Every structure is written in C-alpha cells, then in structure tokens.
Structure 1
Amino acid sequence: MKLTVVGGGSTYTPELVDGFARLRDTLPIEELVLVDPAEDRLELVGGLARRIFARQGHGGRIVTTTDLDRGVEGADAVLLQLRVGGQAAREQDETWPLECGCVGQETTGAGGLAKALRTVPVVLDIAERVRRANPGAWIIDFTNPVGIVTRALLRAGHRAVGLCNVAIGLQRKFAGHLGVAPADVHLDHVGLNHLTWETGVRLGGPSGEDVLPKLLTGHGDTIAAELRLPRPLLDRLGVVPSYYLRYYYAHDEVVRELRTKPSRAAEVAAMERRLLDMYADPALDEKPALLAKRGGAYYSEAAVDLAAGLLGGSGSPYQVVNTYNAGTLPFLPDDAVIEVQATVGPTGVTPLPVPAVDPLFAGLMANVTAYEDLALDAALRGGRDRVFRALLAHPLIGQYAYADTLTDQLITHNREHLTWA
C-alpha cells in the first residue's frame, strides 16, 4: 500500500507518522511519500519520520519529494494537509476582520473565506494531477476549510472524503469521563465542518444507550470549561456543541479577547520554529510533547481509521466524515457537505440516518450552508461581487457595510493568491 501526504513538510506530520507506526496492523503502509515544496522543512520532517518508523519497528519506506506528480504516482490514497500562504496568511486572516468588529479566525467568517479562496484552486489542481496519475486513488482532505474544500472536490467528481479531528477528540474526552474505551463511545454527531453538535453519546454503537444526559449531569462543568461556554447554556441546549460554536454563541466576547492578545497564528509560528529545531536533532526518534500544543490531537488515529476503511482494511465500522448530504438532512440541499457518522468502505462512505434536528441547530446549519455555496462560487469564479455576497451571507458578518469593507480587505491581503484580483 502506498500513501502520499501532500503538505508532508508540515510540523503536523510526525503526529501522523506516529499513528501510522503504532497502527500498522490497521493500515499496513509499504511506502509513505511526503510531498512539500519547502525542501528544507521536508527533509527535517522526513528525517524524524524515518526515525519514528525505525524506533517502532515499522518496515515501511519513507520517501520525500518536492515533485507532486512523482509523489502521487501509484498512490492508493492521498492525504491533503496544506496551507496556502503559510502562517503569514493565517496571521492576516486572524487580524484584519477584527478591524470591523468581526471574528478573525482561519476557518470561519471572513478569514475562513479568504483561506477558501486561496485554497480551493490549488487543491483542485492537485486533485486533477492525482486523478491523471491514478484515477482510483482516494483523496482524504484535512485541509481547512474542510467543508468547502471537500465540496469542491466532490463537485469535480473526485473520490474524496473530508476529515476533521473535532469528533474523535470529543469521543476520547467523553470516554475518559465515562471510564470506558473510546471504541465503546458512539457520537450522534451532526452538522457541518466546524459547526457541529453532539446530540447523543451512545455506548456500544448507533443503537446503544444514550448517556449524554448522564454525562452532562456528572461532567457538565468540565465540558463547559473546555468549550469555554457557560454550563447553564449546555443544560439549556441539552447537547454538546463543538468549541467552534463559541464564535457564534459568544461572538462579541471572543472579539474582545482576540483584540487583546497575540494571534493564534503568531503562537503557532513560534511553536513551529521550536518544533523544527527539535526535528533537526538526529537523536529525536519520537514525536515531541510540544507537538500536542500545535493542534490536531488524535488526527493520526482518525486518518488511519478512514484510510483503512476506504482501502479495505480494518478501520472502525462507523466514522465521522465530511461528505455529500444526499438526503440525510432534509432541510439542506443534497450537494451540501455535512459532517456526520457514516459507514466507510472501499466503495465510499454512506451517512447513517440522523434523527430530526432541532430547528435551533438546523437554522444555523442552513444559513452556513448557503454561505458555503456562495463561498465556493467565489473560489471557483472569482470577482468582488461574489466575495461580497458570500460575506454578506455569513451569520458572523451579515451587515452590508461590514461585508463591503471586509471584501476590500480580503482582496488587498490576498491579491498574490487570487488570479482574478
């Protein structure tokens, strides 16, 4: 089995490699190819990756290359984890929206749209080259904004599935609270990427006992603190929202916080410099503890499970993925990309049935789905008016004066990445 990681020079990659090494019985990789245009970073990450495989007794071969076409040739699956514009572009995404009093964040709001506009054309070009090299290869997208990027891939006819680590992170935390194995926890997870709610927590599988009320009663304070939302809000909602819902449920509070502290991008850039220094140490043969603060917790386990399922291995039978709605949520278009539990196999992913969704959540999902449709149109066809329409549709913006100003800011800060600007 050959698996290729595009964006393999990312400081995330040792987390992924560690999972591939530990879970080699689930996903038996013979060749792992790391592709990245940044040759200096790629060699540091590739060196550590080889040492991790060696330490854990994995016999697979690790190849590094800056040549995308060479890297994807013959791959059974290609995992995308790229950041167009790097941390410098992320820094901008997180700062200029604040000037209008809007959240500055890399996956939602105006910053998320900027990232989508930079990213979608690049990902589609990569996907076409994958298709030419190996039409049967699966594309696993971990590149944000996952919902919009996965929708672009699926619309273009690619064999693609979107992946996020929010659900697996909550599964692990809930298992700890309940004192059970993570595999025994099944989430009734519903929504869009970075806009999800856990409406049930079941023991043993989709038809198991729902212990969410018990979980909220016994551990609600801890869960609320981790989400940075008030405990009474969780009790009133009766669900556990993703931590990204704080951008919606406490928007103004978040804006005030963001205006008074360094951006997350600045923190991550500093962390990446430290990590790369560590990766350069030839004695390091395991992922450093600092990597846990970089983000992407449990990313490797989720990626291994998904790839194994798609390639006929022994992955978990039910997994949270991003895929076409196809009637699963009747209040959304069939070609909307939703994030739900699904069965995973070599023929693809099939969402599990979802009980009726509370209008409180369904309304926000429908609003953001409309934004994502307009955002994808702007990413594919460009133009100031399309950017403006997407921003005006976003519930975190929604006022024409803000949308107008943010459109100009977005174009100014991203002109080098926008062929139409």
Structure 2
Amino acid sequence: MIITIVGGGSTFTPGIVKSIALRQKELEVEEVRLFDIDEDRQYKVSLVVDWILKDMKSPIRLTVTTDKRTAYENSSFIFAQMRVGKYAMREKDEKIPLRHGCVGQETCGCGGLAYGLRTLFPMIQVIDDVEKYAAPDHWILNYSNPAAVVSEACRALRPHARIINICDMPIAILEMVGRCLDIPNFTDFDVNYFGLNHFGWFTDITYQGRDLKAEITEYVMKNKTLLPPDVLEKLKEHDRVGERHLNASWIHTWNNVYKVLQSNPEYLPNTYLQYYLLSKDVVEESNPEYTRANEVMDSREKDLFEGIDHYIKTGEVTAKAFYHGAHGNYIADLAMALKNDTKKKFIVIVQNNGAIENIAPDAMVEVPAYIGKNGPEVICQGPIDDYYKGLMEQQLASEKLLVAGGIEGSYEKVWKAFSMNKTVPSATVAKAILDEMIEANKEFWPELR
C-alpha cells in the first residue's frame, strides 16, 4: 500500500503525513512518497516528515523523489496539492485585481481564474502520468486549487480519470461551528450542502437530534461573527491568534459571515461567498500592498522553514514548525473510506447528473456523497431556488468559459470568463486585468490568441 503526495514541498505535507501515520493500521500503508519538481524545497520539508515518522515510531517507509515513475509506480492513492507558480504568483493573483478595484483572492475572482489557467494542464499531466504508472485501481484525491476550475478541466479533458476533487473549507467551517457551540465532535455532524467549490451553502447541520444550523445562525446574528468565544477573548488583546484560519484576513472572513447571513439567513454560507456577495466590502477591507499571500509567507511558510533550519542546527522540532489538523485529516479519512468501503459521508466535487435537479448535468458541483470502494454515491439535494440557481449558473459559466478558453487558446473566451465573474464590474475592467495577467503569467499560461 503506497500513498504518493504530489507537491511534496508544500507546507501542508508534514501535517498530511502525520494524518496518514495516525491511520497507518486502517490504511495498511507501507510507504509514503513525496514528489515535487522543486527538489530543494521538498528535501527541506522531507526532513520534518522523516522526523514525524520517527517520532511516532511509524513503520511507514519514506521515499523522496523528483522522478515521475519512482513517485507513481504501483501507488494506490495519489494526494495532489500542487501550487503552480508558488506564492510569488499567488501574490500577483491577489494584487493585480486589487489595483483595478476588484477582489484579489487566491481561488475566487480574477485571481482564481488566473491560478486556474496555470493549473489546468499540469493537473492533466498528473492524471496521465498516474494512469501510466500507478496501480490500476488507484485514486487521485485532489486538493490542488482552484478546485472548481481544476475539476471542470478534468471533466472536459479526462472524464474517465479516477479522481475525486475535494476542498477542506466545508470541514473547516464545521469545525468553527463546533467551537462556537462547544461541540468538539464536528466530524460527526450530519450535513446537507449544495453549490460549487468555494460557492455553496449548508442547508442542514444536525448532531444527536440538535438543529445546529438554527443554533449557529442565532449565534452569528448575536455575536456578528462565526468566531468562537475563546478566540473573541484572545482578540481583545491580540490582532491574531496564530491558528491557520485565524490570521487577520481570516478574522475579516469569519466576521463577514454575519453580513452574508443578514441578507439571506436561510442557509449557512461557505465563507468564500463573501468575495462574490460582498465584493465592495472585501476590496475596501483589503490592503493592496499586503494580501493573504503575504500573510501566509510571513506565518505558515516562515514558521515551517525557520523550524526546519532550527531542526538542522539543533535536532529539535518546534511546536509551530508545521500545521496538523482538519486539512490532513480530511484527505486521509477520505482515503480510508475508499479503501475500507465505509460509506462515510463527505462533501466532494462531482459531475452533477441530477444531484441538484435544476442545474445542468455536466456542472461540477460540491455536494455530500457516501464514499466507498467504488467512489462517491451522491446524495441528491433536489431543486434549488432561483436566487441560488442564478448565482451558481453565472459562476459556472465563468469557470466553463475559462477552461474552454484555456484548452482552445482563445483570448475572447478567457476575456468573457473574466467579464462574467461576479467580482468584476465591467468588460473593460476585465480586459485590463486580463492583459496584465497575461504578462504576469507568460511562463505558465497557454498562449491566448
């Protein structure tokens, strides 16, 4: 049993490997392979991974490679978490739109579309390489962002690939709900949810007969935030708490849940809806000179690589050297459900085919599914109201146009994708952003004619 992590140099890799090691017996995993095109970065991250496995006295063997065949041969699970262009390009994704008065964000708006064009073909290359070398019954579990664009590209170009696209944001929201309501067992919540990736709504959240959606809605309306009481207390003295989802930009995000709920209290929104429904507010709250990319580079990136340097010098791994939590647990639990046919419920990105009754069958939607050895068994969510349908179809059209434009090398279709995005006020602004993005992404994008 072999698990390969694509993007082995990611700051998330140590946490994911720890999640795998904690489930070693259930997964029966014998070897973890790290694969990255950045050999130096991956080597440094692998030092922490090696320390984790030894510290846990895990029998898992670690392989670190930049060779595709070595990475994929006979692998059963491939965890993909590529960041094409790294944080240098993420910074441009965020800052270029802000210069034009539009949302600057990693996966949403023009920044997300730009990132999608960079990731589209590298993801297809991973699928082809895995198909060539991995075990015939392999599964690719993909965290690579922007998941909505990546999943549409996979549907269009490799419709039969054994890939499940996922996002940890829904589980991160449920974790925050649990903290707000003082219920630690957030992974046991029963939920219903519909939407697109980073563009969806929780319609039901229950736990042991309790209607948590009603409780959390009341909590948010009272406290004007989805931040839990312990964090609110800490924030009276400090402007950040030091957790992954609690840096300055995330504090704005959790507070904006209140604003979104004010206008539509029917369902609990995915936090990323702020970028579409509150785009003016988000731009006004943003610092165009210091975005989320800079936050991450100054926190998670800095902590990990400073921790690695400290480990090399002293042999000690500091507590904040790596992040472990819902991100790693979610993907490892999904692998466990596939391997052991548990039929556990997860929120995943799948081709619609009636899951949302009045949305196009070829749409890549994010909905709950029971996960077993044959993949997702989708739980249909029925028809949705015009408000949600209209929002989703506009966003879906933007993403589909982008993928089609990337595949065909069509400037016109990519421009239309930027123009249709709800974060952009006009076609002329879309063109100005696109033209600047083309220059910034010369090394990564397909040629647009």
TM-score scaled to structure 2, two decimals? 0.86
Structure 1 residue 209 displacement after superposition = 5.1
With 341-350 and 217-226 compared, the bigger mean Cα shift is at 217-226
Instruction: Return the alpha-carbon distance in structure 1 between the equivalents of residues 199 and 407 of structure 2.
Output: 23
Q: Secondary structure at the match of 2:298?
A: helix
**Is 1:275 the equivalent of 2:304?**
yes
Q: Distance in 1 between matches of 2:388 and 2:276?
A: 12
**DSSP 3-state at the match of 1:3:** strand
String of CA shifts for 1:311-330, please: whole Å, max 9, x gaps. 2365x610111111111112
SS at match of 1:59: coil
Task: Report the Cα offset of residue 261 of structure 1.
Answer: 5.2
Residue 297 of structure 1, CA deviation: 5.0
Matched residues in 2 for 1:93 and 1:219: separation?
Answer: 31
Q: Following the alignment from structure 1 to structure 2, what is the Cα–Cα distance between the partners of residues 363 and 393?
A: 12
Q: Counterpart of 2:442 in 1: which secondary structure?
A: helix
Is residue 354 of structure 1 aligned with residue 381 of structure 2? Answer: yes
Cα deviation, 1:160-182, whole Å, max 9, x if unaligned, reads 11111111112222233153522
Confirm or deny: 8 A CA contact 1:201 1:212 kept in the other structure.
Answer: yes
Aligned to 2:195: 191
Q: In the alignment, which of 316, 338, 343 is matched to residue 310 of structure 1?
A: 338
1:229 counterpart letter in structure 2: N
Give the Å deviation of 1:393: 1.6
CA distance in 2, matches of 1:381, 1:181: 47
Indicate the residue corresponding to 2:10 in structure 1.
10
Tell me the CA shift for residue 27 of structure 1: 2.5
| Contact map agreement 1:41 1:276 (CA 8 A) in 2 | no
Q: Which residue of 2 aligns with 1:289?
A: 320
CA gap of 1:137–1:287, structure 2 versus 1, over 3 A, is farther
Which residue in the other structure is 1:159 paired with?
162
Distance 1:222 1:308, change over 3 A: farther
Provide the secondary structure at the position in 1 that maps to 2:443: helix
Over the residues paired in the alignment, what is the CA RMSD in angstroms?
2.2
Change (3 A) 1:313 1:99: same
Q: 1:237 to 1:386 in 2, by over 3 A?
A: same
Contact 1:154 1:160 in 2 (8 A): no
Aligned position for 2:60: 60
The change in CA–CA distance for 1:215 and 1:228 in structure 2 (over 3 A counts) is: closer
Q: Summarize the alignment of residues 229-244 of structure 1 with structure 2, pairs less than 5 Å apart.
A: 229=256, 231=258, 233-234=260-261, 236-244=264-272
Distance change in 2, residues 1:383/1:254 (3 Å): same
Report the equivalent of 1:384. Answer: 411
Letter paired with 2:333? D
1:224 touches 1:234 (CA, 8 Å); kept in 2? no
> Do 2:19 and 2:329's aligned partners in 1 also have CA atoms closer than 8 Å?
yes
Displacement, 1:396? Answer: 1.3
- The alpha-carbon deviation at position 308 of structure 1 amounts to 1.3
- CA distance change for structure 1 residues 356 and 335 in 2, over 3 Å: closer, same or farther? closer
CA distance in 2, matches of 1:223, 1:42: 41
Consecutive unaligned residues of structure 1, counting only runs of 5 or more, are none
CA distance in 2, matches of 1:278, 1:243: 31
CA distance in 2, matches of 1:299, 1:185: 17
Question: C-alpha distance in 2, partners of 1:128/1:190?
Answer: 30
1:70-81 correspondence runs (5 A):
70-81=70-81
Q: Compare 183-192 and 158-167 and name the one that shifted more.
A: 183-192
* DSSP 3-state at the match of 1:401: helix
Amino acid aligned to 2:31: E
1:43 aligns with 2:43: yes
Greater Cα offset, 355-364 or 127-136: 355-364
Q: Residue 347 of structure 2: SS of its match in structure 1?
A: strand
Which residue in the other structure is 1:365 paired with? Answer: 392
**Equivalent residues of 1:228, 1:246 under 8 A apart:** no
> Structure 1 residues 210, 405: CA separation in 2 closer, same or farther (over 3 Å shift)?
same
Contact 1:55 1:285 in 2 (8 A): no
Question: What do residues 202-242 of structure 1 show as CA deviations (whole Å, max 9, x unaligned)?
Answer: 125xxx55331123224544572542226465254232211
SS at match of 2:304: helix
CA deviation after TM superposition for structure 1 residue 154, in Å: 3.3
Q: 1:420: how far off?
A: 1.6
Q: What amino acid is the match of 1:138?
A: W
Deviations 1:177-202 (A, max 9, x none): 15352243112221111111112111
109-118 vs 127-136, greater mean Cα deviation? 127-136
Write the letter of the residue equivalent to 1:249: L
Aligned to 2:173, the other structure's residue is in SS state helix
Give the match for residue 177 of structure 2.
174
CA deviation string 1:103-149 (max 9, x = no partner): 11110111111111111111101110111113432111101111221
DSSP-derived class of the 1:11 partner: coil
CA distance 1:181–1:334, shift in 2 (3 Å): same
| Partner of residue 241, structure 2 | none
Distance 1:397 1:59 in 2: 51
Q: Which amino acid aligns with 2:183?
A: G
Shift of 1:286: 6.1
Give the whole-Å Cα distance in 2 for the aligned partners of 1:356 and 1:217.
Answer: 26
User: Using the alignment, how far apart are the partners of 2:16 and 2:184 within structure 1?
Assistant: 25
Retained in 1: the 8 A contact 2:352–2:364? yes
Determine if contact 2:260/2:274 at 8 Å carries over to the other structure.
no
For 1:52 and 1:386, how far apart are their aligned partners in 2? 47
Instruction: Write the distance in 1 (CA, Å) between the matches of 2:269 and 2:133.
Output: 40
Structure 2 unmatched ranges of 5 or more: 228-253
Distance 2:271 2:316 in 1: 33
Contact residue 151 and residue 165 of structure 2 kept, 8 A: yes
Contact 1:193/1:322, CA 8 A, preserved across alignment: yes
Aligned to 1:344: 371
What is the letter of the counterpart of residue 32 of structure 1?
V
Report the CA distance shift for 1:418/1:231 in structure 2 as closer, same or farther (over 3 A): closer
